Structure formats: C-alpha cells, structure tokens
Copies of this chain bind each other. A is one copy, B any other.
C-alpha cells in the first residue's frame, strides 16, 4: 500500500461515500459501480476511483465493488472500525443539539461527557448525561480515553476551553466557534462554521441577480 499524502478533499469524499454505501447496504444492494456511487453523491466516476485508489484496490474489473466490503474498508480507513468517545463543552442549544444528534451515534461517535461553567446548566441532564463542571473533565478524559473534544461554547470562551482540553490530553478538536483556535501544531483542529455556507449562498444569489441586469 502506497501511502502518499492523501488530499483532505479525498478524505471528505470518502466519508460521504462511506455513508452512501451504508445506505445502499441497508437497502439490500450488494454490488455498485464507481459510476453509481458518483451519481449518488454528486461527483465524477473517475474521482471515486481515484479516491479509492489512494488506499488500495477494492473493486473487480468488469463488475464493480462489493457494497458490504467497500463499506467496511471505507469505515476502517476513516478509523471507524471502533467507537470514539467524545467530550463536548458548552451545554447551550447547539451543544444540546449535538448531544442528541443521531448522525454521530450511527457512525460510532459517543459523547461521554458534557461540560459547562454556567452554574445554571451544571447538573442538568441531556439524555443520560449530566452536565458537569469543567473541573471534572480530566477524570472523564482519562476514564474513557477520550481523544476528541467538541467546542460548542460562545466565542469568548472557545480559546480558553480548547486550551484546557489540550492541557488535559485531548488530541483533536472540532470547533463550532467561528474564530480560529490557537493550539499546538500537533493538535488536529477542524472548524464547522455555520454561517460561512450561508454567506456562500448569499454571494452566489447576489452574483446571479447581477448577471440578470
């Protein structure tokens, strides 16, 4: 297996293929071609094959891919062959929504600790979890071997929270605060910015109406 640097765009698409394959599998489909995957997720067939080729040869020429196998391979590649415990900081509405989001569970993510520094929120329950004060974070991280933390706090708290997470052993951060986090090189950080995509839409709408003049 050649392990060149894999483009992040490829990993993103792999995640999408993987979920599409799960859907096919649930629907009882056993074999699929790169063209069908492409059609299903909105990319080109060559793109699908090229993406998969970074990781090996999974198909059969003249036939296509075995859905169940390819689903397992893609999950394995993404590191989803086991469960991932997560912690989340920020028990506001967004934090609550993320805790109850089914899409995480179905991919093997499980939030095992929710934290806040707001006394009115500490002690509340979200599903079977109790919102804990920040001081309890180190224990929860150790107990479950948590590597990934989610930041769902107001902007002003985000940096401090992320720093605290890292100090206690968190290795990767998913940040919902729309500002860049300043963390050590070796920490993996990805941002989910809820309004950027809206602004792409408004940009494109504006551009279109300009063309109609």
Contacts and interface: CB of A to CB of B under 8 A. Distances in A.
B78 A202 contact: yes
A205 interface: yes
Contact of A40 (B19, B180, B193): B180
A101 B15 contact: no
B19 A148 contact: no
Interface residues of A, number: 59
A197 interface: yes
A104 B198 contact: yes
A139 to B, nearest CB: 22
A73 interface: no
A108 to B, nearest CB: 9
B190 A200 contact: yes
Interface centre among A11, A20, A96 (most CB of B within 10 A): A11
Interface string A194-208: 111111111111100
Given A174-B198, A194-B192, A79 B15 contact: no
A195 B190 CA distance: 11
A46 interface: no
A194 B77 contact: no
B195 A15 contact: yes
A179 interface: yes
Given A11-B200, A18-B199, A190-B200, 5 more contacts: A15-B193, A79-B199, A103-B194, A148-B202, A172-B204
Top 4 A-B pairs ranked by shortest CB distance? A79-B202, A79-B206, A97-B97, A93-B97
26 contacts: A11-B200, A15-B193, A15-B200, A19-B178, A19-B179, A40-B180, A78-B199, A78-B202, A78-B206, A79-B206, A80-B199, A92-B97, A94-B97, A96-B96, A96-B97, A97-B97, A107-B195, A107-B198, A147-B205, A171-B205, A172-B202, A174-B201, A188-B204, A188-B205, A190-B197, A190-B200
